[in-house]
Amino acid sequence: MKIGILSRQPELYSTRRLVEAVKARGHEVRVIDTLRCYMVIASGQPSIHYKGESLEGYDAVIPRIGASITFYGTAVIRQFEMMGVYSVNESVAISRSRDKLRSLQLLARKGVGLPTTGFAHSTLYTRDLIDQVQGAPLVVKLLQGTQGIGVVLAETQKAAESVIEAFRGLKAHFLVQQYIKESGGSDIRCFVIGDKVVAAMMRQGGEGEFRSNIHRGGAAVAVKITPEERETAVRSARIMGLNVAGVDMLRSHKGPMVMEINSSPGLGGIEQATKKDVAGMIIEFIEKHARPGRTRTRGEG
């Protein structure tokens, strides 16, 4: 097979591991800088060009699209889909999961456990909005934030009002979310491939840090998840339409609560914590499912 990895940084652990896994299974691989691709949109003859050459003959692509280039990145994936190339995560699914508000609404509609979440435009009813998510302490999240950036824990009513007013003054879109105290600053990352959780780790924030992101100094260890957590992770990825996903959830008194679903989950933390060859599992999934024109949406939506 000929597999393209859409990544702007070949030196990243996740990209390097995917390249190693593709080669180890005897396939051809190329890392493609997403932003250096350019597309020709012609009726019946879609094409993608890269550094002066046409990208042809690919059996599959693996998107590693950063949040900051979601718009252009999904356009490139959509073009591959129009050409009949299999994408392990489709453009529509990536766009869906990247929109935090939309993804939470879709999960809530399907009855998936979530922290109570508020979203508003006006600050006139800030106090009522805070009351609707069980009051302080609460978490305020920028919709565009990643890796814990733009996430604030407001421990008192006054602090919550101040943070909300400040974000609104910046014309920023944000969510106000119930704080799950019993999680103790830890969360669980379930790595889903297809209809299985292939690896899971618990991430714990550093001392004095409620965010558990490894990029912010959090530590990770392998964890045994419950059947309910496993089912919740797989269901959440399926609702988003993702074949490969990192599903982040909290353990609460009411059961697992999904915080976020990542369409380009990092491999470093999960492989090092669990000692599993997750990259190899992704390539194995592609081998089983990649067929010309098998993309469900064919660039639609």
Spell out the domain ranges in the chain.
Answer: 2-95, 117-179, 182-283
Which among 55, 54, 95, 60 is positioned nearest to 74, based on CA atoms?
A: 95
Q: Which CATH class is domain 117-179?
A: alpha beta
Backbone angles phi, psi at 231, to 5 degrees: -65, -40
Q: The whole model's pTM is what?
A: 0.86
pLDDT score at 24: 97
Which residues of the chain fall below pLDDT 70?
122-124, 144-148, 205-218, 293-301
Q: What's the fold here for domain 2-95?
A: Rossmann fold (3.40.50)
pLDDT score at 123: 63
Tokens encoding 254: 């009411």
Domains 2-95 and 182-283 share a fold: no
Q: What's the fold here for domain 182-283?
A: D-amino Acid Aminotransferase; Chain A, domain 1 (3.30.470)
pLDDT score at 300: 47
- Sequence-ordered strand ranges (E) for the chain: 2-6, 28-32, 37-40, 47-50, 53-54, 60-63, 86-87, 117-118, 138-142, 151-154, 174-178, 186-193, 196-204, 219-222, 244-252, 255-262
